[in-house]
Structure 1
Amino acid sequence: MASISSLGIGSGLDLNGLLDQLRDAEREKLEPIVAQSEQQQARISALGKLQSAMTQFDDSVETLKDASLYESLSASGGGDTLSASVDAAAQPGSYSVEVSNLAKAGTLATQRVDAPDEAIVDAGGKLNLNFKGGDVPAVEVDIAADSTLEDIRDAINAKEGAGVSASIVNDGEGYRLALNSTETGVDAAIDSTNFSTLVAGNLAANPDNQITQPGEDAALKINGIDITSTTNEVTEAIQGVTLNLKETTAADSPITLKVEQDTLKVREAVSGFVKSYNALKDTMGTLTSYNSETGQAGELNGDRTVRTVESRLRSVLSGGVPGGELNTLSEVGITLQRDGTLELDEDALGEQVSGNMAALGEFFAGSEGSTGMAGRVDEALGRMLDEESGLVARSIEGAEGRLERLGERYTRMETSVERTVERYRAQFGQLDAMIANMNQTSSYLTQQFDALDAQLGRD
């Protein structure tokens, strides 16, 4: 029997080409399985998109569900002078603020030396950094023998808790070590050093004196009360409010800082709720779409999972929240449209936010013993998004199971196809050998007949 590599040589037939055609024909049996696998993979991907959109909607629901949202305060009116932030301890109020001085860090420039890279410390020692405040301890920095001004700078900057940052300046007559306090305020200001003693004998010909610029505290008035601060971040001057000072005010021209209910945050939360639901609705519409002209359908067209999600959410959103002053979404300015989307009436919401915040909070966040609209939606989403028993998770698990079974079926079918092809190959080999033998016999007989004819012709 001829080998695979010489299949067809014995017969002169294109048995390899025929074998390839038979293989292709057999492998067509795999195409339906491939198509079904791709369909399941597309369904898993589409369910993932649905899950992501539902999770994003749930995030906006969680914001509305938080009762503290409807009690939050914000500060306004600081202008260019200051910015303000509030925490839970803040109380609504109006404050007159005058800023007469900003906090500044103190600086010190040492005596001059001739060059920054020449040794100026003979035997080494300690550089003492003394600060203005009596409660601020002095700092000692170890300086090695033969250190240059650059080495001293580096040693200071490497010292943890030095209280200053060091650099080198050239004032036109020599080089000075410039020290800048890392904190603002009078007490944290660098006041003096023993630099001249440490580098004795190595100062410039005209060393001059140390130059200091004192640190300053911030000074302001709140409702006529004088307040000082070592930093421009002023805390506790107004309970629950942190002021960040940026500029001073003109004389006798205070600004008015207001701490009041943060209506903007509530508006944004409600608007975010509507937008994220509509985004979810748009995602579901895309996944279940069908184009009659092209015949193209979305990955989840006709899928029970999407219909169930949509139905359950519509049921919750169109339902009421009994017991409170506000009972339905339409009363807060949100209406369910015919296409299933939500529409927000900003003016209607504004009326509730500005004049009925407590009722709005009770409607969305609920009250003691009752669940608000946000809580009801969150519960519905939670059941459907549960990682183990949720509707979406079970749908994904089912699709993954079908995909796995299709993979096993594909493997079995592929093995069967290869066995069939190998059977064809063996049969073709036998055919090739048989035709080769027949060709040899035919050639032999032809030769014998030719020889016999030749012999008869001579006789």
Structure 2
Amino acid sequence: MSTISSLGIGSGLDLSGLLDDLEDAENEKLTPITEQQTSYKTKLSAFGTLESTLSSLRDSLEALSDPDTFTAVTSSITGSAVTVSSSGEAVAGRYQVAVSQLAQAQTVASAGYDDKDATLGMSGTLTFSVGSGADASTFDVDVADGDSLSDLRDAINAQKGGVTATIVNDGTSSRLVLSSSETGTDAAMSVSSSDTSLNDAFGFSSTIGDDGKSTVTGSAMTQTVAAQNAQLTVNGIDITSQSNTVEESLQGVTLTLTDVTDDSGETLTVEKDTDSMTSAVQAFVDAYNSYVSTADSLTSYDADADTAGALLGNSTMRNIESKLRSAMSYSDSDGVYGMLSNLGIELQLDGTLEVDDDKLSSALDENSDAVSQFFAGVDGEGGFASSLDDTMGIILDDDGLLQSATDGIDSTLDSLADRYSRMQDSIDATIARYRSQFADLDSLVSQMNSTSDYLTQQFDALSAQTS
């Protein structure tokens, strides 16, 4: 039987069109599968959206679960001679800060030398002492024949012993300048040597006078800046500090001194940072309301358009909503504030939360410790935030409700993909069989047409002979 390269050529029948119609009909078997795939992919996307908004809600609990959120304070000070920072341990109040003296690091300078790189002509050991008495620290610097002023500088700095050496040229000669690495009298320096030449050139002894400043005796070393402590008063109480950064003179407050003040000083104000507390609560409320809005969208039904949210009637979605409603009804029977509503955080008819600013501000102003206990528990244990976070863990953690739901959808999509592939293979085989059968039919009809034409010619010829 001859082969027909294009269906219908031999028979004249529209076999190609018929085969296309049959293929379209066969492909309809894929429609239920693709519709299911679309439906499950839509649900998977919906769960992704839900997970994102729930994660944001969980993140908002971090500040509420931290007791420091509700002990935050703000601090400010008039003038520019003192800057201030504070921690949650600071006590609210007003304080007068007057600075009479800044802390300084001691500096001494040697006699002048014509050439900083010329040989000193001395050898021996210089012993450096920083501080005094049992708290003093010491280190030795060896000076060898042939060492220059520059070499001595480098040897001192290499020890990193609390003394910094530099060389200063005053226009006519070079001088070795030694500076304490720290401010205050506790960092005052002394240098000595058993070698007379070295001791005469660089040895000196520091003492602290009644005025609280260092003085230097011995050798050719001259004190250019005295070691001294910072001196200030806070509400009339004298305070001395080795550094210009004064910590814990006021509980939880760090003062950084940059200049002296007049006798009246500057006014430091420390007060509760209720703005940051309110912001933490509002961030939680906003995150919860975002979740409610997302949940409503995913479970809505529009009767006019006859369209439904992707998770309408979904059992996992119902379970999540139920657990969160239960968590939001948290009650602390031992606290001053037992429920969210006691703090002015009210549940609305549409399921969202709304903050009564006056009620919340009043609670934070009057008893922020009690507000902290409600949200963060006692000593950071328990509380509303921890309880809600536990619920969020059931939903969001590995093997939680969302992962179980999405894993199930992924498994179903894999199964549907396999079904689609098998069905496509079946359709392809069916169409191939139809194509083969149509080709045979086309060839057969073509032969029959040829035979019919031949017989017709024969009959016509016979009829002509007999007429």
C-alpha separation between the residues in 2 aligned to 1:79 and 1:308?
A: 59
Question: CA–CA distance in 2 between the matches of 1:425 and 1:243?
Answer: 92
Aligned residues: 369
Residues 359-438 of structure 1 correspond to what in structure 2 (within 5 A)?
A: 359-367=370-378, 371-388=382-399, 390-438=400-448
Q: Is the 8 A contact 2:8 2:14 kept in 1?
A: yes
Aligned to 1:38: 38
TM-score (norm 1): 0.68
Deviations 1:390-425, CA, capped at 9 Å, x for gaps? 222211122222212111111111111111111111
Deviation at 1:386, TM superposition (A): 2.5
Within 5 Å, give how 1:33-432 maps onto structure 2.
33-77=33-77, 84-87=84-87, 90=90, 92-97=92-97, 137-138=164-165, 221=232, 223=234, 240-242=252-254, 254-367=265-378, 371-388=382-399, 390-432=400-442
Query: Partners of 1:361 and 1:377 in 2: how far apart?
Result: 15
Partner amino acid, structure 2, of 1:295 = D
Query: Contact 1:2–1:429 (CA<8 Å) still a contact in 2?
Result: no
Q: How far apart, in 1, do the equivalents of 2:79 and 2:410 lie?
A: 58
Find the aligned partners of 2:394 and 2:163 in 1 and give their Cα distance.
59
From 447, 452, 466, the equivalent of 1:442 is: 452
Q: Is the 8 A contact 1:365 1:372 kept in 2?
A: yes
Q: Which runs of 5+ in 1 are unaligned?
A: 104-125, 141-182, 188-213
Change (3 A) 1:369 1:82: closer
C-alpha distance in 2 between matches for 1:443 and 1:127 = 122
How far does the alpha carbon of each residue in 1:411-447 deviate from its partner, in whole angstroms, 9 at most, with x for none? 1111111111111111111111111111111121122
2:312 aligned partner, one-letter code: N
CA distance in 2, matches of 1:453, 1:82: 132
Partners of 2:342 and 2:89 in 1: CA distance: 32
Shift of 1:93: 4.9
Residues 136 and 430 of structure 1: CA distance in aligned 2, closer, same or farther (over 3 Å): same
* Mapped partners of 1:407, 1:422: distance in 2: 22
Is the contact between residue 47 and residue 392 of structure 1 (CA under 8 Å) also seen in structure 2? yes
Letter in 2 for 1:33: I
The one-letter amino acid paired with 1:443 is D
User: Percent of counterpart pairs with the same letter?
Assistant: 43
The verdict on how the C-alpha distance between 1:51 and 1:83 changes in structure 2, with shifts beyond 3 A counting, is farther
Q: Structure 2 CA distance, aligned partners of 1:25 and 1:87? A: 75
Give the SS at the match of 2:268. strand
| SS at 1:6 equivalent | coil
- Following TM superposition, by how much is the alpha carbon of 1:454 offset from its aligned partner in structure 2, in angstroms? 3.6
Deviations 1:114-137 (A, max 9, x none): xxxxxxxxxxxx999999xx9654
Cα separation, 2, equivalents of 1:256 and 1:227: 20
Q: Which residue of 1 aligns with 2:465?
A: 455
Instruction: Report deviation, 1:15.
Output: 1.9
Are residues 136 and 8 of structure 1, via their aligned partners in 2, closer, same or farther at CA, if it must alter by over 3 Å?
Answer: farther
Aligned match of 1:145: none
Match of 1:176 in 2: none
**Distance across 1 between alignment mates of 2:27 and 2:451:** 38
Q: After TM superposition, give the deviation of residue 78 of structure 1 in Å.
A: 5.6
Quote the Cα distance in structure 2 between the aligned partners of 1:16 and 1:297. Answer: 42
Shift of 1:239: 5.8
How far residue 252 of structure 1 moved from its aligned partner, in angstroms, is: 5.9
Q: Residues 275 and 455 from structure 1, CA distance in 2 versus in 1: closer, same or farther, beyond 3 angstroms? A: same
Q: CA separation in 1, counterparts of 2:462 and 2:294?
A: 90
Which amino acid is 2:267 matched to? T
**Could you say if the C-alpha distance between residues 81 and 442 of structure 1 is closer, same or farther in structure 2, counting changes exceeding 3 Å?**
farther
Q: Distance in 1 between matches of 2:79 and 2:308?
A: 55
Unaligned runs of 5+ in 2: 104-148, 168-180, 188-224
Q: In 2, Cα distance between the equivalents of 1:429 and 1:308? A: 59
Change (3 A) 1:29 1:235: same
- Structure 1 residues 387 and 98, CA, compared in 2 at 3 Å: closer, same or farther? same
Q: Who wins on radius of gyration, i.e. which is larger?
A: 2
Q: Distance in 2 between matches of 1:228 and 1:45?
A: 62
